[in-house]
Amino acid sequence: MDFNLPAVFFAAIIPSLIGFLWYSPMVFGKQWMDASGLTIEKLKGGSVLLQIGFSLFLSFMLSFFLQYITIHQLSIFSLLENQPGMYSNPITNQDYLNIINKYSTNFRTFKHGLLHGTTASLFFILPVLGITSIFERKSLKYILVHLGYWTLTLALMGGILSAWMKS
């Protein structure tokens, strides 16, 4: 089963699109700046192109990894990797082909991807963000603003990856 590179690239754009809206003054920008101790003056500086470029690179990494959480069929190869012939040519391995032919479309919906993106946010992002925030002495408001962003972002990314990826 190959992954769909256009889907991974498209999903990688989602954090920037959501972030542009989420952290704008119209939505949670003021709350985020207050909770972070930031001001407009502090945000002016640095290379915007470098920030955007690095953000897109990290978003691509996230999107690439998220497909393995949302698409169960991508784990089939790892399940069978010790079977004879898997390393030489998995496409001709009959066990692999039988499983893919039978189950390739199971759980391949936008809704299923939303579920896995949301749970990834709650079980990966929240603990990392929470632990970091505790030691940086950040407020609950800070955690909730970022958690809301990542929950929405990963849910949409997961939905797109799950629905768009084809076997």
- What is the per-residue pLDDT for 84? 67
The amino acid at 10: F
Residue 46 pLDDT: 79
Using one digit for the tens of pLDDT, what is the confidence trace for 64-114? 999 989 987 777 766 766 666 666 665 666 777 777 777 777 778 999 999
pTM, to two decimals: 0.86
Of the pLDDT bands very low, low, confident and very high (cuts 50, 70, 90), residue 141 is very high
Give 109-128 pLDDT, tens digit per residue. Answer: 999 999 999 999 999 999 99
Distance of CA 149 to the CA centre of its chain: 12
Residue 90 CA to residue 68 CA, distance in Å, equals 18
Quote the CA–CA distance of 150 and 135 in Å, as a whole number: 20
Distance CA(161)–CA(164), nearest Å, equals 5
Q: What is the DSSP letter of 83?
A: S
